[in-house]
Amino acid sequence: MVKFKYEPIFHDHKAFLKNAQKREGFSKAYNALEEEYTLVREMLSARSKSGLTQEAVAELMGTTKSAVSRLESAGKHAPSLTTLKKYAQAVGCDLKIKFMPKSGSVKNETRGVKQRAG
CA gap 109, 68 in Å, rounded: 40
**pLDDT 10s digits, 1-23:** 677 776 777 778 889 889 999 99
**pLDDT 10s digits, 66-89:** 999 999 987 767 899 999 999 999
Domains and their CATH numbers in the chain: 13-90 (1.10.260.40)
Contacts of 48 (CB under 8 A, 6+ apart): 6, 8
Contacts of 58 (CB under 8 A, 6+ apart): 64, 65, 67, 68
CA gap 89, 99 in Å, rounded: 22
pLDDT value, residue 25: 92
pTM of the predicted structure, to 2 decimals: 0.69
